[in-house]
């Protein structure tokens, strides 16, 4: 879907969330811990929320949210993010977008 | 047990028949107890023949036309006429009283046996609790402590978990034996694969159980008490797993050390993220339930929203298990076969010890000092 395509290809880490979704919040915390400032699209207040949900599900995110895109490519939902991180493959993906440690 | 008072006849009216009625009392009490307690190993041989003996005496007396007949107004007349009859009567009384005491003793013994059996059953229940079987303690349990609203999905899980622990113990034993001797790498790899699959099987079981009753899985009631102390979102903490395994790898390459360090850090970050997500879930649910005007009783203003949040718990439990799964998977990738085998043995023994600790703790007051 166009809107999803447009939003997901924004630079950096893009996460589609819902305000009521606590797993989405957990994923955001993880990226914050990794010193990344993701772009958050909270879809529940979007007029096209149903369309966006359907598009995300079609792309492979079973619950639609959270849906994580890095550098315009879909990484996946919570499962995929966790697997990638534990295998050490997440940090290389987001390295360009990490802010310097304080 | 039947009330014995219904059979008791006041002494004044019975006179010489009092002992006979007493025998009747005990006899009937025992009869009814025998019927009801097939399991209780009651000493059923004691009573019945004696009753018949007494009856024989009675009929014997009757046939000789003596004072043993059930005609009370004859009683004093017949005994005063014949001193021998008095002696006989006294002897019969003594005999009857002796038998009555014997019966009472047997009855008390039966009570004692039942009491011991009760204590035994209670201990078995306690043991079952310690071994991780869910025995409800809440208000929805009956007198034996089992939940009357037992969910079939949960009942199935408990049974499966019992088998799982048995198989786990068997596998740990095998690993222990094999690592003490010589074993081919191929055989060791097979054992490691089996052990890994066994853990993955547990996560699959928990996923089904979470769908049936997520609060049950979250409570850790299927685990022993010491295991529950370390509970994190329905299971063990993945970072704890690493802490248990690491001391057992004597020689590690630099790459391995590097990888394990990274794994440990990622694990902790992922755990932290999930923990904070859980925290947010608790806060929002609490807000949901606490909202509304004072005096609205049990009415939850946004009950649908609250229910949705509870559904989210299932996702969290699944995510936590996914984390455990991935941690095990990564360790398997980083380590050699032999290291993995030692690690799995260490992990298995750790949980075994926690279970044993729970048992010791539960019985600490019962040990004779």
* A102, part of any domain: no
Contact (CB<8Å) A23/B267: no
ipTM of the complex: 0.94
The DSSP code for A38 is P
pLDDT of residue B75: 52
Nearest Cα of chain A lies from the Cα of B39 at a distance, in angstroms, of 54
- Cβ neighbors of B144 (< 8 A, separation 6 or more) are B125
pLDDT of residue B3: 44
> CATH code at A93?
3.40.30.10
> Which whole number is the average pLDDT over A10-20?
90
List, in sequence order, every residue forming a beta bridge with B147; answer none if it has no partner.
B141
* B94, part of any domain: no
Nearest to A87 among B278, B312, B330 (CB): B330
Provide the domain limits for residue B268.
152-363
Higher-confidence residue: B205 or A2? B205
* A89, part of any domain: yes
Nearest to A26 among B273, B309, B322 (CB): B273
* B93, part of any domain: no
B359 touching chain A per CB within 8 A? no
The segments of chain B whose pLDDT lies below 50 read 1-70, 137-148
SS3 labels along chain B: CCCHHHHCCCHHHHHHHHHHHHHHHHHHHHHHHHHHCCCCCCCCCCCHHHHHHHHHHHHHHHHCCCCCCCCHHHHHHHHHHCHHHHHHHHHHHHHHHHHHHHHHHHHHHHHHHHHHHHHHHHHHHHHHHHCCCCCCCCCCECCCCCECCCCHHHHHHHHHHHHHHHHHHHHHHHHHHHHHCCCCHHHHHHHHHHHHHHHHHHHHHHHHHHHHCHHHHHHCCCCCHHHHHCCCCCCCCHHHHHHHHHHHCCCCCHHHHHHHHHHHHHHHHHHHHHHHHHHHHHHHHHHHHHCCCCCCCCCCCCHHHHHHHHHHHHHHHHHHHHHHHHHHHHHHHHCCHHHHHHHHHHHHHHHHHHHHHHHHHHHCCCCCC
* B44, part of any domain: no
- The structure's pTM equals 0.68
Domain count, chain A: 1
pLDDT of residue A11: 83
Nearest Cα of chain B lies from the Cα of A10 at a distance, in angstroms, of 24
Query: How far apart (Å, rounded) are the C-alpha atoms in residues B226 and B229?
Result: 5
Other CB atoms within 10 Å distance of the CB of residue A59: 17
Match 């979470």 to its residue by tokens: B210
pLDDT of residue A32: 95
Per-residue pLDDT of B293-338, as tens digits, reads 788 777 777 788 888 888 899 999 999 999 999 999 999 999 999 9
Chain B CB contacts of A86 below 8 Å = 263, 266-267, 270, 323, 326-327, 329-330
Domain count, chain B: 1
A98 touching chain B per CB within 8 A? no
> Which whole number is the average pLDDT over A5-14?
84
**pLDDT, chain B, mean:** 79
Q: Are A55 and A91 within 8 A, CB to CB? A: no
* B68, part of any domain: no
Chain B CB contacts of A88 below 8 Å = 259, 262-263, 266
* B73, part of any domain: no
Q: Are B216 and B222 within 8 A, CB to CB? A: yes
Q: Is the pLDDT of residue A13 over 60?
A: yes
Residue B83, token pair as written in the block: 């001193």
Chain A CB contacts of B266 below 8 Å = 85-86, 88, 90
B319 touching chain A per CB within 8 A? yes
* Chain A contacts in chain B segment 293-312 (CB below 8 A): 305, 308-309, 312
Under DSSP, is residue A24 helix (H, G, I), strand (E, B) or coil? helix
List, in sequence order, every residue forming a beta bridge with A39; answer none if it has no partner.
A14
Q: Interhelix angle for A78-86 vs B254-290, to 10°? A: 150
Provide the domain limits for residue A8.
3-97
Q: Are A87 and A79 within 8 A, CB to CB? A: no
Chain B CB contacts of A34 below 8 Å = 269
Chain B CB contacts of A80 below 8 Å = none
First CA to last CA distance, chain A:
39
* B9, part of any domain: no
Contact (CB<8Å) B270/A23: no
Mark residue A60 as left, alpha or beta (left: phi above 0; alpha: psi -120 to 50; beta: remaining): left
* B287, part of any domain: yes
Candidates A39, A46, A28; CA nearest to A55 is A46
Nearest to A29 among B259, B276, B305 (CB): B276
CB pairs under 8 A between A and B: 73
Contact (CB<8Å) A23/B309: no
pLDDT of residue B33: 45
Chain A CB contacts of B270 below 8 Å = 30, 82, 85-86
Candidates B48, B45, B39; CA nearest to B114 is B39
Per-residue pLDDT of A43-84, as tens digits, reads 988 898 899 999 999 998 988 899 999 998 999 999 999 999
* B228, part of any domain: yes
Q: Are A17 and A66 within 8 A, CB to CB? A: yes
């Amino acid at each position: 879907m166009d809107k999803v395509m447009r939003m997901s290809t924004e630079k950096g880490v893009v996460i589609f969330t819902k305000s009521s979704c606590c797993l989405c919040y957990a994923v955001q915390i993880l990226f914050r811990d990794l010193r990344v400032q993701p772009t958050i699209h909270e879809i529940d207040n979007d007029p096209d929320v149903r369309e966006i949900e359907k598009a995300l599900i079609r792309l492979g995110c079973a619950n639609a949210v959270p849906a994580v895109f890095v550098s315009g490519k879909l990484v996946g939902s919570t499962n995929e993010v966790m697997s990638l991180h534990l295998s050490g493959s997440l940090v290389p993906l987001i390295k360009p977008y990490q802010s310097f440690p304080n | 047990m039947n009330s014995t008072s219904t059979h008791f006849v006041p002494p004044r009216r019975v006179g010489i028949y009092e002992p006979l009625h007493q025998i009747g009392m005990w006899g009937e009490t025992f009869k009814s107890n025998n019927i009801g307690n097939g399991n209780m190993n009651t000493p059923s041989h004691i009573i019945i023949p004696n009753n018949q003996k007494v009856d024989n005496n009675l009929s014997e007396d009757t046939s000789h036309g003596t004072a043993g007949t059930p005609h009370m107004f004859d009683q004093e007349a017949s005994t005063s006429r014949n001193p021998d009859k008095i002696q006989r009567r006294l002897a019969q009384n003594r005999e009857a009283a002796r038998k009555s005491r014997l019966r009472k003793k047997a009855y008390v013994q039966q009570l004692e046996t039942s009491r011991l059996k009760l204590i035994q059953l209670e201990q078995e229940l306690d043991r079952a609790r310690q071994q991780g079987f869910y025995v409800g303690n809440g208000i929805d349990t009956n007198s034996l402590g089992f939940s009357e609203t037992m969910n079939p999905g949960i009942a199935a899980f408990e049974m499966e978990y019992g088998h799982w622990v048995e198989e786990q113990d068997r596998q740990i034993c095998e690993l222990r034996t094999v690592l003490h001797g010589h074993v081919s790498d191929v055989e060791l790899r097979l054992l490691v694969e089996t052990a890994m699959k066994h853990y993955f099987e547990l996560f699959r079981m928990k996923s089904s159980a979470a769908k049936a009753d997520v609060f049950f899985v979250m409570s850790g009631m299927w685990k022993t008490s010491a295991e529950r102390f370390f509970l994190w979102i329905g299971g063990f903490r993945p970072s704890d797993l690493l802490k248990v395994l690491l001391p057992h790898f004597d020689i590690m390459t630099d790459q391995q050390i590097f990888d394990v360090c990274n794994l440990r850090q990622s694990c902790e970050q992922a755990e932290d993220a999930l923990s904070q997500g859980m925290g947010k879930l608790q806060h929002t649910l609490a807000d949901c339930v606490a909202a509304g005007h004072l005096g609205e009783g049990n009415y939850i203003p946004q009950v649908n929203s609250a229910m949705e949040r509870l559904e989210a718990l299932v996702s969290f439990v699944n995510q936590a298990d996914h984390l455990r799964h991935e941690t095990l998977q990564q360790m398997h990738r980083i380590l050699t076969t032999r290291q993995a085998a030692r690690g799995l043995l260490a992990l298995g023994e750790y949980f075994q010890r926690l279970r044993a600790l729970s048992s010791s703790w539960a019985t600490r007051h019962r040990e004779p000092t």
